[in-house]
Amino acid sequence: MDIVFLIYEGMTALDAMGPWEVLARLPGARARMVSPDGAAIRTDLGVGIEPAGGIADVARADLLLIPGAGDIRPLLVRTDVVDWVRRLDASTTWTTSACTGALLLGAAGLLKGKRATTHWAAFNALAKTGATPVAERVVTDGKVVTAAGVSAGIDMALTLAARLADSDTAKALQLAIEYDPAPPFDGGSPAKASAEIRALAGRLLAARR
């Protein structure tokens, strides 16, 4: 099972590393990270990641995962990356994204007429790609699976693990990484947060960009 993660300058680390902790542990999985030019990248908060190669080294994959970024727009105008995502999708069993990575799938034309999700702050941009935004943690439409913001990528990876292996394996992986969320505050979605907290979150996101 060939699993490919696209990594790129300015991406959000947890968007990739959360799902990686699950999918790279699947029995029989060959997981690798590739960057647009094969060069090392730094995430939006300065974490360095060394890829296994570049997109030119990957012609097919069973599963493709696109992580998001605080500002993914520079990637959306790279025709080489957009074309590569579109070509790779022709061979995948699953084409997936976490957070604003969905906007790259949309730029490649892979979300037209599909239900999809992304970070709540990017729903308007998602709709412009022809997708129908859905306020859920994980959305599956055909072979396309999208996750909401950042931490939702782990939920998506466990959902995929159950499909790629079985539910017991997915449950065992969840236990192995001790993924048993018990957040100190019940405000992790716009529906639960106050207007003041939503505004503060927006300012924090803007500051990161």
Domains of the chain, residue spans? 2-182
Indicate whether 195 pLDDT > 90.
yes
For 59-117, how does the pLDDT look when each residue is reduced to its tens digit (9 = 90+)? 999 999 999 999 999 999 999 999 999 999 999 999 999 999 999 999 999 999 999 99
User: Given this model, what pLDDT does residue 207 score?
Assistant: 84
User: Given this model, what pLDDT does residue 11 score?
Assistant: 98
User: Given this model, what pLDDT does residue 77 score?
Assistant: 98
For 21-54, how does the pLDDT look when each residue is reduced to its tens digit (9 = 90+)? 999 999 999 999 999 999 999 999 999 999 999 9
- Give me the amino acid identity at 77: V
**pLDDT-derived band of residue 156, with 50, 70 and 90 as boundaries?**
very high
Q: Which of 16, 69, 75, 99 is catalytic?
A: 99
User: Given this model, what pLDDT does residue 86 score?
Assistant: 98
Mean pLDDT of the chain: 97
**How far is the CA of 176 from the CAs of 21, 43, 130, 170, 180, in angstroms?**
10, 26, 38, 10, 11
- Tell me if residue 99 is catalytic: yes
108 contact partners, CB below 8 Å, separation of at least 6: 82, 83, 85, 86, 89
Burial of 29 (0-12, 13-18, 19+ CB in 10 A): middle
For residues 144-153, average pLDDT: 98
Indicate whether 125 pLDDT > 90.
yes
Q: What percent of the chain is modeled with pLDDT above 70? A: 100
The rounded distance, in Å, linking the Cα atoms of 45 and 208 is: 8
Domain 2-182 sits in CATH at 3.40.50.880
For 71-87, how does the pLDDT look when each residue is reduced to its tens digit (9 = 90+)? 999 999 999 999 999 99
**pLDDT-derived band of residue 132, with 50, 70 and 90 as boundaries?**
very high
- pTM for the model stands at 0.96
Indicate whether 209 pLDDT > 80.
no
